[in-house]
Amino acid sequence: MSDEATTTTEPTGRKKRFTLPSAYTILFILIVLAAIATWVVPAGTYDLNDAGEPIPGTYHEVESKPADILVDSLTAPINGLYGIENEKGNINYYNSGTLFGAIDVALFIIVIGGFLGVTMKTGAIQAGIGKLVGRLRGRERLMIPILMTVFAIGGTTYGMAEESLAFYALVITVMIAAGYDALTGAAVVLLGCGIGTLGSTINPFATGIASGFAGVPLSDGLVGRLIILIVGLAIGIFFVLRYADRVKKDPSTSLVHDMKDENEAHFKADSGGGGDGGVAVLTRTHKTVLVVFGLAFGVMMYGVIPWEDLGIPLPTLWWWFPEMTASFLLFSIVIGLIGHMKEGELTTTFVDGARDLLGVALIIGIARGITVIMNNGEITDTVLHWAEVALGDVGSAAFIVVMFLLFLPLSFLIPSSSGLATVAMPIMAPLAVFVGVSEALVVTSYQSASGLMNLFIPTSAVVMGGLAIARVPYGRYLRWVWPLLVMLGVLSIVVLAGGSALE
């Protein structure tokens, strides 16, 4: 759907613009480059402390172990999923003799896909938002902050992205009927979900995967991420409201004013003549499903928080990916039963949902293959050593800001948040040890940069697909949204620098 939507934004008669290769191709190219690097970059290693972390200043070169460029490049993604034997290094970097693969993360993603598929099949999320829109008819200005908050909750908890495409026509229809424009409706959905993802708190596709590869609990850094979420959402709501009020007062100020009549006719036809735009009624079953859906993420959060280490007298479950995967599998079954699904329908729906995220799971394996090549060639520590020398005695605040700025172009090249986390965390997180910055802060810098870039980059299927549904030209959206992007970027930097100062 997103590929077709993207093509609608291309002006007819013009030469097709250059587009970047897919994330799969980019990551495989990086695997080949990593294999070539093992022939050029000196092999080296750090001494380790009792915690299994590299000790600054102890780097020394070792015998070179160049990769077989063809064979190792092809097997790296497979080894990345399964795990390989190595002299040191694992998902938590240096704490054991085995480099664990990404199979636990990939299975978690696949099960999450099934969980979301079953939940969406019940119609509960669609009906819930549709009911909210219906309740707020006649109070559309109030709808903007409420809906943006709802979509942000979806973004911060489970990375709501492609699922949001189903709501554009409904929200835009209501906004146009209330005297706003198509850009206002698109912004409510796109920026609501996007800012929620930028300020991900327990988003398993961003924070969860990055925390896993950084070897820190999901709860570490939660306060900073909450600040980014709440303040960022407030800024976003103010930004959209200001534009919406201006358009309602003077429709000629709309950035899509030249398309006003065409958009009004188009979205009026899509609405089916009024009512709730075809959205199902919110039943008691839907309400129950929504409660259980929220409970699933609450249970995950409770399971991964180390209450014992925090001095809080609550049982600590010490959950990680296997336990979280099993939990979401259980909740998928529970939601399916609540939704009155028969055995065949439940299993088929779960498999279909899992299939939707199979690509993400494959990206994780391919991305993990880069780490496999670098670790087997023992050049990972060499890269860390070069970064240690380059950074010198830079302060922790400067380090984390540079880290954030570095993640921005990386997010453009690798728009997949899970793929970027798998590639970057094995190098960036241990680098933080050298300057006394926590790995959790590196996770926050990664997800903030990735979330910010995915609010506007043309490689994002959600951005291009959403704008195509809204009939908003990409260039106009970009000219409108850039001040908000600057404000969100500054907010992220301030929170990151402040977090490093408090450590």
Q: Is the residue at 350 inside a domain?
A: no
Q: Which of 63, 125, 23 is nearest to 366 (CA)?
A: 23
Q: Which of 38, 85, 28 is nearest to 63 (CA)?
A: 38
Torsion angle defined by CA atoms of residues 444, 430, 111 and 310, in that order, rounded to the nearest 10 degrees: -70
Q: Is the residue at 26 inside a domain?
A: yes
Cα–Cα distance for residue pair 173/180, rounded to 1 Å? 10
Domain count, the chain: 1
Q: Is the residue at 109 inside a domain?
A: no
- By CB atoms closer than 10 A (0-12, 13-18, 19+), residue 78 is middle
Going by pLDDT thresholds of 50, 70 and 90, the confidence category of residue 241 is very high
Q: Which of left, alpha, beta for 12 (phi over 0: left; psi -120 to 50: alpha)? A: beta
More confident residue, 135 or 88: 135
- Token pair belonging to 86: 């190595």
Going by pLDDT thresholds of 50, 70 and 90, the confidence category of residue 310 is low
Is a pLDDT exceeding 70 seen at residue 207? yes
Amino acid at 27: L
328 vs 88, 298, 352, 428, 442, CA distance in Å?
32, 11, 16, 29, 27
Cα–Cα distance for residue pair 375/426, rounded to 1 Å? 10
What's the pLDDT score for residue 172?
Answer: 87
Torsion angle defined by CA atoms of residues 274, 277, 283 and 289, in that order, rounded to the nearest 10 degrees: -160
The arithmetic mean of pLDDT across residues 84-90, rounded, is 44
Look at the block and give the residue holding tokens 């950035």. Answer: 255
Model pLDDT for residues 162-185, shown as the tens digit of each residue: 777 767 877 888 888 788 999 999
Its domain, for residue 133, covers 2-101+124-279+357-502
Alpha carbon 66 to chain centroid distance? 34
Q: Which of 272, 276, 281, 275 is nearest to 127 (CA)?
A: 281
Q: Is the residue at 189 inside a domain?
A: yes
Q: Is the residue at 308 inside a domain?
A: no
Q: Which positions ≥6 away from 173 have C-beta within 8 Å? A: 185, 267, 268, 270, 271, 277
Q: Is the residue at 342 inside a domain?
A: no
Going by pLDDT thresholds of 50, 70 and 90, the confidence category of residue 276 is very low
Cα–Cα distance for residue pair 366/346, rounded to 1 Å? 30
Angle CA 23–429–68, to nearest 5: 55
What's the pLDDT score for residue 489?
Answer: 96
